[in-house]
Structure 1
Amino acid sequence: MSLEWRARPSSVSSSLAWSNPLAWWWSLLTLVSGANIAVWFVLYRQLHEQPTGSLGGTSGIELMLLLCAAYVFGCAFRSFLPRADVQRICLFDTWLSSVVVGRSVATVAEICFAAQWAMILHQLGTMTGADTTLNAAWVIVPLILIAECFSWYAVLTTNYLGNAIENSIWAVAFFVVGISLCRLLPAFDGPVRVVLAIAIAGIASYLAFLMTIDVPMYLSRWRTEVADGSSKRLRPLEGLHDVSTRWIVTHDLAEWKDEIAWMSLYFSMAVWASLALCVFYSLGDYLPRYRTEATVASWSSDALAVVGKQQPGAARHKV
């Protein structure tokens, strides 16, 4: 049995037979993505009608589920139709494999994923009075917006330096998230502290991957092209036309080998993190009970101070 699609005349293609490791890789991506979609529907059914609460209310969880849906379905789309943007390569010959479609889907999905983290940090910062975490919540999405600009620059101009900068900014953003979660560790006891520790370990692993594998890979490609002088950079408008009209179907493992690692992790573990954020956010009314006594005392004193500042103003207003 083999999976065959008609390639465009300009493409380099061969039959995607089961003897080709790419067929098994694509099948695994598809299976995982299908499972992720099923999990999202289960979460939606369980969480979207939960009772309104102060920190994880109905409107908040619905927004979180919507952001998660954008990421889960966006990653599933990119799993079903894999592509490498700068190289313009893909597995299947369809306009849906064009880079302009895939990169647009990725941009929306990644901004939504960043917004999920911002909501979590804001939720935790609010219930603990941690200014570091609250400030970080406002920084994450702007950083990712900047990263997306560099991603589009790389895609349109075929300049790998843009990819290196993009992923470096992702590293900075999640370093900020990691620092914020470390700040919260002393504020919680019990299972919440364990979950925070697991999240910090996961972020540390992600940062290690970015700094030792992903960013160096893009820098190496950029240096190679600069040294060879063989790469003609596209102007942005030329690149926009190129990503809209040109895609190269290839089933050559050599063309994909450097993409398999990050795509596999991205379309599985990152999506699981997005789903987990929904569950964690939905527990907003239960999390405060795991705050340490020192955190509760500090949070209460801060709340009283705010009320004290507001009351004189209210009294003057009444007079």
Structure 2
Amino acid sequence: MRLVWQARSNPLAWWWGFLTLVSGANIALWFALYGQFHGLPTGSVDGTDIELMLLLCAAYVFGCAFRSFLPRADVQRICLFDTWLSSVLVGRSVATVAEVCFAAQWAIILDQLGKMAGADTTLNAALVIVPLILIAECFSWYAVLTTNYLGNAIENSIWAVAFLLVGIALCRLLPEFQGPVRWAILIAIAGVAGYLAFLVTIDVPMYLSRWRAGLADGSKLLGLFEGLRDVSTRWVVTHDIAHWKGEIAWMSLYFSAAVWSSLALCAAYSLEDHLPRYRAEAAAVTAPSMPRLAHSPSGALSPSL
């Protein structure tokens, strides 16, 4: 891989450096979590459960790091480095595994909190998140193989539906918890709202615009088998910022904030033993009450416990 294009005058070099730095920090954070929670002793979150969350988190953290080190835009077949690892087939396969694992993390944490709070809305959301993302991945592969941006628009619309359900599930949990747990849920809701706003106002409209432009230009779509060969053998190295402008915003957010949320989910899941003390119901039961006054045989008032 040649790095001669990485000059201070090239904004792509700064962007790639940002992605690389953030990804390195994310990997370090994952290893810190692994060192903290690997082989966790017995408790309501047993060793097997936390190991699964660590594994799912690792798939997302390392998958996003791989895509940061070797950025590429799938439908356009463009990349920064001339290596077979930049092929769309490799990159999209890594992305698929990572994104399904990320969805599974959300399903697990919502299931954990939903059961603790007895919230059926949250439990139902946990059941449908992974199937929705699997469907979204099918549309992503359709877009990549055929070069039809409509598939990307549908894919990201499904992500929007999935995280709308996540937001509803989190809102259902708000009255069930208090203190720092409630604040954590509020922060998560704000993050989901920001993500939905980005998808609805920027991401999906961008892909729809590209799809309409392709229709206007009469661009020829690839067949599935032709596309499979194309994603395996063709990648175009470009260091022209104009070719990457549409990708920089979503990649920067995706490989930073989204990865941080994956790490946060892993850490939050390990705290199950501590969460019951922040249940609003438990707080109401343990709240001190004023002594009740009762009449004594002599007629004087005395406290009655």
With normalisation by structure 1, the TM-score equals: 0.87
> What one-letter code is carried by the residue in structure 2 that aligns with 1:3?
L
Residues in 1 aligned to 2:94 and 2:283: alpha-carbon distance in whole angstroms: 41
Aligned to 2:227: 239
Aligned length: 284
Residues in 2 aligned to 1:241 and 1:187: alpha-carbon distance in whole angstroms: 52
Residues in 2 aligned to 1:136 and 1:51: alpha-carbon distance in whole angstroms: 30
Aligned to 1:272: 260
Residues in 2 aligned to 1:97 and 1:3: alpha-carbon distance in whole angstroms: 15
Aligned to 1:283: 271
Going from structure 1 to structure 2, the CA distance change for 1:296 and 1:102 (only over 3 Å counts) comes to farther
Secondary structure at 1:261 match in 2: helix
Q: Are positions 1:53 and 2:43 aligned together?
A: yes
Query: What's the offset of the Cα at 1:17?
Result: 2.4
Residues in 2 aligned to 1:294 and 1:178: alpha-carbon distance in whole angstroms: 24
Secondary structure at 1:50 match in 2: coil
> What one-letter code is carried by the residue in structure 1 that aligns with 2:14?
W
Secondary structure at 1:285 match in 2: helix
1:1-319 mapped onto 2 (5 Å cutoff): 3-4=3-4, 15-54=5-44, 56-229=45-218, 231-293=219-281
Residues in 2 aligned to 1:295 and 1:63: alpha-carbon distance in whole angstroms: 31
Greater gyration radius: 2
Q: Is the 8 A contact 2:276 2:282 kept in 1?
A: no
Unaligned residue ranges in structure 1 (runs of 5+): 5-14, 298-319
Residues in 2 aligned to 1:25 and 1:237: alpha-carbon distance in whole angstroms: 34
> What one-letter code is carried by the residue in structure 2 that aligns with 1:179?
I
> What one-letter code is carried by the residue in structure 2 that aligns with 1:281?
Y
Q: Is the 8 A contact 1:187 1:295 kept in 2?
A: no
Query: What's the offset of the Cα at 1:16?
Result: 3.7
Q: Is the 8 A contact 1:16 1:251 kept in 2?
A: no
Secondary structure at 1:274 match in 2: helix
Superposed CA offset, 1:116-162 (max 9, x none): 00000000011111111111111000000000000000000000000
Unaligned residue ranges in structure 2 (runs of 5+): 286-305
Q: Is the 8 A contact 1:147 1:167 kept in 2?
A: yes
Q: Is the 8 A contact 1:143 1:173 kept in 2?
A: yes
With normalisation by structure 2, the TM-score equals: 0.91
Residues in 1 aligned to 2:90 and 2:252: alpha-carbon distance in whole angstroms: 20
Residues in 2 aligned to 1:266 and 1:196: alpha-carbon distance in whole angstroms: 20
Superposed CA offset, 1:182-228 (max 9, x none): 00000001100000000000000000000000000000000111112
Q: Is the 8 A contact 2:178 2:279 kept in 1?
A: yes
Residues in 2 aligned to 1:52 and 1:281: alpha-carbon distance in whole angstroms: 14
Residues in 2 aligned to 1:155 and 1:50: alpha-carbon distance in whole angstroms: 41
Residues in 2 aligned to 1:88 and 1:3: alpha-carbon distance in whole angstroms: 20
Query: What's the offset of the Cα at 1:294?
Result: 7.2
Query: What's the offset of the Cα at 1:3?
Result: 2.1
Query: What's the offset of the Cα at 1:267?
Result: 0.3
Superposed CA offset, 1:224-270 (max 9, x none): 111121x1100000000000000000000000011000000000000
Residues in 2 aligned to 1:119 and 1:125: alpha-carbon distance in whole angstroms: 10
